[in-house]
Amino acid sequence: MTGVLVTGGAGFIGCNFVRFALKGRPEWRVVVLDALTYAGNLENLQGLEEAYPGRYRFVRGDVTDSALLEKLFGEEGFEYVVHFAAESHVDRSILGPLAFVRTNVLGTAALLEVARLAWKEKKGRYLQVSTDEVYGALGEEGAFTESTPLDPSSPYSASKAAADHLVLAYHRTFGLEAVLTRCCNNYGPYQFPEKLIPFMIVRALDGKPCPVYGQGQNVRDWIHVQDHNRGVLLALEKGRPGEVYNLGARCERRNLDIVRALLTELSVLKGWDISRLEERIAFVKDRPGHDWRYAIDPGKAERELGFTPQVPFEEGLRDTVAWYLQNEGWWRRILSGEYLEFVKKLYGTQA
């Protein structure tokens, strides 16, 4: 058995990765470490213990807790670490930046240090999951490559850039076999309903207007979470240590177009009057530090790792809309806060 630690495995991208890995890597034993703060949801991992007996373990804990990390490394002898755990919502980083620095920077520092000490004898590989937001904003042209200088605009992206610097420095200074991936905007099942796509779906289903920042002209590059996780797995297994790999699907869309596409899908599925879609959109004042455009060049991952996204955007979006319609209970329990009650009941503490 190959011991694999997946931090943040109860979050959106993490839980999709855990499912993907358990299915695709039968020799892996996956240990999920997740603090189950608001964005982690145990429901996302439901059924895995039964489906993969002996190959899956859940541990509730904070990635900044070095003692816990040491204990887990001792018990499980990890060969791989995939570090998804992060505070990730930009708007929340504006309201409370320090939580982002604690989780994203101190958490990465703690994990790197424990891994370094544990892997002095027996080698292991570390993968840091990062974001294209560390590159800052683009103008109308061009795309981020791995050599684009980091230029973060928000406390969130600065905290992710900080973690990236640490990971690469650990490779250079200590020879840690660390690989870094930076991905563009993800969408797909289990995404927390504060993020653009599920947020808009949920708003529209509740008959509320979909709020769009500014004129909705900001451009984002989209990838289905499954494609992202294909890239993470490739980078973990085949990436050169100390290297950064951009992951993207060459799929740029304006925010307004995303909202329109979603509303169109929903209208088809729900039988809404398609000529009155615009009435469901509300333009709101732009937020501070809102980057204009992101676009990521995945050329290096394509060439070196053979990375090829397989989910066309329109298809992925349709499936995602359908998933949210089919899993209304899942997101209703999030919106009502009931999912946190579940954690409280299970662990007897405040989530």
CB-nearer residue toward other proteins: 154 or 320? 154
Q: Which residues pair with 223 in a beta bridge?
A: 186
When binding is defined by CB under 8 A, the residue of 27, 53, 120, 147 that contacts other proteins is 147
Shortest distance in whole angstroms from residue 258 CB to other proteins:
23
350 binds other proteins (CB under 8 A): no
CA distances from 44 to 281, 331, 342, 351 (A): 30, 11, 12, 16
Establish if 166 lies at the interface with other proteins (CB under 8 A).
Answer: yes
The closest alpha carbon to 187, from 336, 317, 62, 98, belongs to 317
The reply to whether 156 belongs to the active site is yes
Q: Kindly name the residue from 34, 43, 87, 133 that is annotated as catalytic.
A: 133
Q: For this structure, is 132 an active site residue?
A: yes
Tell me which of 59, 61, 66, 322 binds other proteins, using CB under 8 A.
66
Residue among 74, 84, 94 nearest 33 (CA): 84
Considering only residues 67 through 96, tell me which ones interact with other proteins, judged by CB under 8 A.
Answer: 94
> Per rule CB under 8 A, is residue 288 in the interface with other proteins?
yes
Any residues with CB less than 8 A from the CB of 207 and at least 6 apart, and which?
A: none
Which residue in 152, 239, 298, 309 binds other proteins (CB under 8 A)?
152
* Residue 143 Cβ vs other proteins, minimum distance, rounded to whole Å: 17
The answer to the question of residue 318 lying near other proteins (CB under 8 A) is no
Among 28, 170, 330, 331, binds other proteins (CB under 8 A): 170
Contact status, residue 256 vs residue 308, Cβ threshold 8 Å: no
Give the phi and the psi of residue 343 in degrees, each rounded to 5: -65, -40
Work out whether 139 is an interface residue with other proteins (CB under 8 A). Answer: no
By CB under 8 A, name the one of 112, 204, 235, 321 that touches other proteins. Answer: 112
Alpha helices in 29-149, H assignment, sequence order: 48-51, 66-76, 90-95, 97-100, 107-118
Residue 106 to residues 79, 221, 342, Cα–Cα distance (Å): 22, 29, 28
Q: Which of 13, 32, 36, 110 binds other proteins (CB under 8 A)?
A: 110
* Position 172 contacts other proteins (CB under 8 A): yes
Does 218 bind other proteins (CB under 8 A)? Our answer is: no
The residue (of 100 and 222) whose beta carbon lies closer to other proteins is: 100
Beta strand spans in the chain (E): 2-7, 28-34, 56-60, 80-83, 125-131, 178-183, 185-187, 210-213, 219-224, 244-247, 252-254, 281-284
- Tokens 């840091």, residue? 128
Measured from the CB atom, is 64 or 226 closer to other proteins? 64
Closer Cβ to other proteins, 80 or 135, answer by number: 135
Looking at the Cβ atoms of 164 and 265, the one nearer to other proteins is 164
CA quadruple 245, 250, 256, 262: dihedral positive or negative?
A: negative
Handedness of CA 331, 332, 337, 341 (dihedral sign): negative
- Looking at residue 149, the DSSP 8-state letter turns out to be P
Q: Which positions are annotated as active-site residues? A: 132-133, 156
The contact set with other proteins (CB under 8 A) reads 66, 94, 97-98, 101-102, 105-106, 109-110, 112-113, 147-150, 152-155, 157-159, 161-162, 165-166, 168-170, 172-173, 288-289
